[in-house]
Amino acid sequence: MKKNKLLEAGTEIPDFTLRIGNGNGDDHKDNFMTLSDHRGQNVILAFYPADWSAVCGNQMMLYNELIPMFENYNAVIYGISVDGTHCHAAFKEHNNMTIPLLCDFEPKGEISKLLGVYNHEKGFCERALFVIDKNGIIQWSHVSPMDVNPGAKEILETLKNIEK
């Protein structure tokens, strides 16, 4: 079984572009997010296995609630799964969420594999978190068990350390 290695703190994160799951399939640039466009800002990447599953939903709802808190630390957050744009859009609308969700959809799991958080056996990404600083350096990364919602304690602690 192929196994990826989680990119760890101190590593520069490889740049990537992913489609934003807003239900719009057009190839207009506004429908994509390029990580390096966020240089100068802290970025939180929250990989999760799937839209609609209970644990994932709770996790994204919590982060959605914390968006203003993250902004206080000059941070933006993105949720990422292998789901497609229409799936993300429906999931967000159903839960009244504004958190941007990215589609690691085609080629499936490409960015999850790049960062070492793809589960080859299950065919979706692990539940994994990355906090990336203004210069694109990973300051903290973590993989949780599939069924454990990791909350936000360590994300906020890492951001506090970066910003102090």
Residues near another protein (CB under 8 A) are 58-59, 61-62, 64-66, 69, 95-98, 149-153, 156
Taking the C-alpha atoms of residue 30 and residue 122, their distance in angstroms, rounded to an integer, is 31
Q: Are 40 and 134 in contact (CB under 8 A)?
A: yes
Q: Which is nearer to another protein, 59 or 112 (CB)?
A: 59
Alpha-carbon span 71 to 69, nearest angstrom: 5
Contact 35, 131 (CB under 8 A): no
Closest CB to another protein among 7 and 75? 75
Least Å distance, CB 50 to another protein, is 17
Residue 154 beta carbon to another protein: minimum distance, rounded to whole angstroms:
9
Residue 42, exposed/middle/buried by CB under 10 A (0-12, 13-18, 19+)? buried
Least distance CB 38 / another protein (angstroms): 22
Q: Which is nearer to another protein, 35 or 155 (CB)?
A: 155
Residue with smaller CB distance to another protein, 91 or 118: 91
